[in-house]
Amino acid sequence: MTHQIILYSQTVSLATFLMITLPTESEHAGQEEIRPLSWETAMSEAGMDGPRKFLESVRRHGWADQNLLGLLHVLIGRRITDSAGGLVSQGLTWREAAALLTKVRWDKDTVLQLGLDPKQLPPRDRARYWYTAISQARVDSPHARAAGDRLAKCAETEGYHFHQ
- Strands 161-163 vs 33-37: parallel, antiparallel or unpaired: unpaired
pLDDT tens digits, 74-107:
999 999 998 888 888 889 999 999 999 998 899 9
CB 156 within 8 A of CB 80: no
Residue 153: band (very low, low, confident or very high) from pLDDT cuts 50, 70, 90? very high
Which residues does residue 33 pair with via DSSP β-bridges, in sequence order? 21
Percent of the chain whose pLDDT exceeds 70: 71
CB 75 within 8 A of CB 92: yes
Q: What DSSP string describes 96-158?
A: HHHHHHHHTT--GGGGGGGT--GGGS-SS-HHHHHHHHHHHS-TTSHHHHHHHHHHHHHHHTT
On the question of pLDDT at 141 being above 90, the answer is yes
- Predicted confidence at residue 41, as pLDDT, reads 55
